[in-house]
Structure formats: C-alpha cells, structure tokens
Amino acid sequence: MNPFRKTLGLLLAGAVALATPAAFAAETYVNVLTGGTSGVYYPLGVALANVIGKQLPSVKTSVQATKASVENLNLLQAGRGELAFTLGDSLSDAWKGNADAGFKTPLDKLRGVAAIYPNYIQIVALADSGIKTLADLKGKRVSVGAPASGTELNARAIFKAAGLKYGDFSKTEYLPFGESVELMKNRQLDATLQSAGLGVSSLRDLAVSVAVVVVPIPADIIKKVNDPAYISAVIPAETYKGQTTDVETAAVPNFLVTREGVSDDIVYGMTKALWTHLPDLVAAHSAAKAINLQHALAGMPIPLHPGAARYYKEIGILK
C-alpha cells in the first residue's frame, strides 16, 4: 500500500473514532406520544415539543399521533418514546398490569413527570335522536372511542356503572374523535363518548354543524364506578354551540409520564419546559388553563422520575 494512503487512512480512522462519541452524544431525541389529531393531546404535544426544544437546544423533538393512553404507555415501556400523555386510570392499570385494560404485564419502566389537566367524559348526541339521558342510549348507534384507548376504557366504566353494556346499543363503533363526528354529521351515528379537555375541537366542530345535546353523567353513576380517578365535574354552559346550561359529568386526571432510561438531565429539562412555558400550551389549547403547578404531584400513581423530582425540589414543591 502507498505509505501516504496508509497514513491518511489511519488518520481518518482516528478522526472517526474521536468524532463518533461526540456525534452520538449530540443526537438526543425526545419523541412526544400524544393522541388523535382532533383531540387535545396532539396540539398540546406539539406545543410541548416546541418548548422542550427551546429549553434543550441540543435535543431533537418529534410528535407522534397515536391512539392515546394505552398505546402511549405500551410504547413508552418498549422504549419507543420519551414523554407521553395518559389518563390517570389507564396509568394505574398499566402499573398494575391489568390485561383487560390492554396491559398484559405490569409496565414497570414508567416514571411520572406531572399531573396536568382533567379529561371530561363528554357524551354528545344528535338533538333529534331522542337521547337525553344515559338510559336513552339503549337501541342507539354509539361510538365509544378507539379500541382499548383511554376513552374506550372510560366508556366501559361509565356504561357499566349505568347498567349498560355495548350489546344494548343497536351499533357500537370503535372510532377516534374525528371519525365519530363525521359519522354523526352524516346521520350514521346517534351519539359519541369523548374523553378530552373542555372545548375539544372535534365536538366544537360537530356542534356548529348539527344540533346536539350534551348528555349528563349523574354523581350517583360516578360513585358506582368505584375508582378514585373518577370525580364529579361540570361542563359549563356555552362550552359547545347550543349548550345553554351547565351539564354534570365525570372527569379523570391526565398525566405526563416518561420512562426509566431517559436521563435525569433530559427529564429535568422537559419538566422545567412544561412549567416555565405554560402560556405556550394555553395558546395551543384552552384545556391547558387547568394545568396548575400546585397540583403537579396530585394523585400520581407511579414513581416520580428523579429528573422531575430534582426540578420540584428546586422550586420547593417537593421536600
């Protein structure tokens, strides 16, 4: 071999060896797992990814649309995401390993970041469907959310507490929010149950397109669910077009979660980005108005990630 070429080859190999660790160190990714694009998780996830990018300039962020809670938690456990939105009851089921809820084994790698806003379980029916109460859903065409999603788990719990089963409906559809609304507009469905923040875009779109009614979920039904994650709440009048009065319903808290294996520094940065850029999230969706630092650790059903704990200790929320 030409001595010059041999020397050049050795120098190049050395340069690659020296550069590779630094190159890998710089390529840090945060994939935010959200939900359907017509829900609340997705726009908040986009806003959150943006502020994480501001807080951690060396991190490359991405946002993934998913079937929400159950899929998100399984993806996290598998190492296919760094931050995820989830409903509180799904998170508890994941930690325990509730197979009926979509978790074959306990998801022991999950770690908490923050409690955020509550999801309101919103049942909306066509005004001319004759549906005014939960009992009126019998014999009707109902969408209960994507299969085994957090919304669909909420549907199972509420309908069971009300003495209803899917077989009582003339047709049960397992569809995401946007598709459910399109079928209602086309008179192919009578009602949809959507678990989301107040003013979710799918239901706002439905209410301006056709006349609807918001079906109440009474407090006595919520008690029968027998799960502390379910609390009584109110959908304020005028949340949706044509809704002239407050409507009682159930709510379930949402959480942001990460996983074991994501570095303390990255999780610290993600947590700080959330709490120091809340106006960016509120601008993305009004549901974020309910995110409150004083409730950041309320009801957290899994261990807190050390990186998040470091931030909360720094600001005095955690002793």
CA–CA separation, 299 and 244 (whole Å) = 33
Residue 174 lies in a domain: yes
| End-of-domain residue from the set 252, 274, 290 | 252
* CATH code for position 189: 3.40.190.10
Quote the pLDDT of residue 38: 87
**Which of 207, 228, 252 lies at the terminal end of a domain, its last residue?**
252
Last residue of a domain, one of 236, 252, 268: 252
Number of domains in the chain: 2
Tell me the pLDDT tens digit for each residue of 17-57. Answer: 333 333 334 469 999 999 989 899 999 999 999 999 999 99
| Domain shared by 125 and 100, yes or no | no
The answer, yes or no, to whether residue 116 has pLDDT greater than 50, is: yes
| 286-299 average pLDDT score | 94
pLDDT at 313 over 50: yes
pLDDT single digits (tens) 193-208: 999 999 999 999 999 9
> In whole angstroms, what is the distance from residue 286 CA to residue 177 CA?
18
Tokens of 20: 């590779």
Same domain, 142 and 237: yes
What global pTM score does this model have?
Answer: 0.83
Whether 267 maps to a domain, the answer reads yes
225 and 76 inside one domain: no
Name, in order, each residue with C-beta under 8 angstroms of 135's C-beta and a sequence gap of 6 or more: 162, 164
Q: Express as a percent the part of the chain with pLDDT over 70.
A: 92
- Looking at the fold, whether 137 and 188 belong to one and the same domain comes out as yes
Which residues constitute the domain of residue 241? 119-252
Are 135 and 98 found together in one domain?
no
